[in-house]
Amino acid sequence: MRIHQLDIQIASCSDKLPSSPLFQQWIDAALSELSSPLEVLIRIVDEPEMTELNQTYRHKAGATNILSFPFEAPDGMELNLLGDLVVCAPVIEREALEQSKLLEQHWAHIVIHGIFHLLGYDHIDDVEAEEMEALEIDTLKKLNINNPYKEQ
């Protein structure tokens, strides 16, 4: 059952991207505890765009796998927009290979990880990291995906 609105922008040359229904399934699984429908935008990019965004918004060099941009509505305005996720396809593909993970499962993990960032979770300290990882593991388990933090 599709609950949440998902918009996908593809600005990547990768030919190994998950299907729109898979992205929808992952978003709905991550947001399954919420009763009101939310809207999420996922933009899939290549390394040059991600490198620029990572430098601009995090002041870090190079491309990262995902960036999350939570939406903050102006005072008095109510919108159901949760925020935007920008995912770097080549980084996801490289990480999956390096970590001996199935590509689709790594995509699922990273997208779900990003959704929890949009919801306000973080992994700056150990307590926050454990809470966020537990939510990710639980969500992935519902999708029959193994714990991504467990050594292979």
Write the DSSP string, the chain: ---SEEEEEEE---S-PPPHHHHHHHHHHHTTT--S--EEEEEEE-HHHHHHHHHHHH---S--SEEEEE--PPTT----EEEEEEEEHHHHHHHHHHTT--HHHHHHHHHHHHHHHHTT---SSHHHHHHHHHHHHHHHHHTT---TTS--
Is the pLDDT at 57 greater than 60, yes or no? yes
Mean pLDDT of 76-84: 89
User: Does 1 have pLDDT greater than 80?
Assistant: no
- Average pLDDT of the residues of the chain: 93
pLDDT above 90 coverage of the chain, percent:
80
- Residue 151's pLDDT is what? 64
The residue extents of the domains of the chain are: 5-142
Mean pLDDT of 80-87: 96
Query: Residue 134: what pLDDT?
Result: 94
What kind of architecture, by CATH, is found in domain 5-142?
A: 3-Layer(aba) Sandwich (3.40)
Residue 150 in this model has a pLDDT that exceeds 90: no
pLDDT band at 86; cut points 50, 70, 90: very high
pLDDT tens digit sequence for 31-44: 998 878 999 999 99
pTM greater than 0.95 (yes/no): no
**16: pLDDT confidence band, cut at 50, 70 and 90?**
very high
